[in-house]
Chain A
Amino acid sequence: QQQVKQSPQSLIVQKGGISIINCAYENTAFDYFPWYQQFPGKGPALLIAIRPDVSEKKEGRFTISFNKSAKQFSLHIMDSQPGDSATYFCAALEEHTGKLIFGQGTTLQVKP
């Protein structure tokens, strides 16, 4: 049972463009939504996170948009750079267990 669905599976963006990755969840017990960036051979690194009482959070070029009623959230990467090329995972934290449920991942390639 996939509790967090992520799309697209892969994404190619030109340098300077906007990268958009979408996630949807089902469990209303989720109450914290982080995004992780993972480079090949490395562990996931926390990029940005949001709580459901906030509709948008921005940190530098990275923005999370959150729609609680639709149970959807998305990551926007502005002015995408070749160094942003990596796999991105959305995740949702279960309120009572502390367990992170991950999406399937999106492989982003930013072309120079």
Chain B
Amino acid sequence: DAGVTQSPTHLIKTRGQQVTLRCSPKSGHDTVSWYQQALGQGPQFIFQYYEEEERQRGNFPDRFSGHQFPNYSSELNVNALLLGDSALYLCASSLRSLGATGNTIYFGEGSWLTVV
């Protein structure tokens, strides 16, 4: 049973560029959330996708956008990259029908983004 898979694992971008990160949720999961983890910090919630729509959003600018596909996989897009966007981007998956208290949220290994 495959867990949460993310790609690419590492990438380097230049300020002002755009980046797309990809995530495949754990088999059987239908909800994908994205988190940003800066060095030495805890993960910060970016947004959550369910049924191909953004359901919840954290305190991140519109430069951060996403998409969920019919197979539940998801993409995170960041436009006009800033140096401060350098971080580990984590994808988390869960099964919405279990509800909040019955749910187990699994994380992928993340995509390390360096903006130079």
Chain A residues engaging chain B, CB cutoff 8 angstroms: 6, 31-32, 34, 36, 42-46, 49, 51, 89, 91, 93-105
A97: which of B48, B88, B105 is its contact (CB, 8 Å)?
A: B48
Q: Taking CB as reference atom, which chain A residue is nearest B105?
A: A100
Q: Interface size (B, Cβ < 8 Å)?
A: 30
When distances are taken between beta carbons in the complex, the residues of chain B under 8 Å from A44 are 43, 90, 107
B31 to chain A: which residues have CB within 8 Å?
A: 98
Complex contact A105–B33 (CB within 8 A): no
Chain A residues with CB below 8 A from B107, complex form: 36, 43-46
Q: How far is the CA of A31 from the CA of B102 in the complex (A)?
A: 10
B100 to A93, Cβ gap below 8 A?
A: yes
Known contacts A42-B109, A43-B108; decide if A98 and B43 are in contact (CB<8 Å): no
Q: Which residues of B contact A45 (CB under 8 A)?
A: 107
- Pick the contact of B92: A32, A42, A96, A100 (CB < 8 A): A100
| Interfacial chain B residues near A103, Cβ < 8 Å | 42
* Structural contact, A99 and B42, CB atoms closer than 8 A: no
Q: How far apart sit A98 and B93, CA to CA, in the bound complex (Å)?
A: 11
CB distance from A7 to the nearest CB of B (A): 13
List, sorted by A's number, 18 A–B pairs whose CB atoms are closer than 8 Å: A31-B100, A32-B100, A32-B103, A42-B109, A42-B110, A43-B4, A44-B43, A89-B42, A91-B42, A93-B103, A95-B100, A98-B33, A98-B56, A98-B96, A102-B43, A103-B42, A105-B40, A105-B42
- Assembled-state Cα–Cα distance A49/B101 (Å): 10
Cα–Cα distance between A71 and B62 once the two chains are bound (Å): 34
A36 to B4, CA, bound (A): 15
CB under 8 Å from chain A, chain B span 13-33? 31, 33
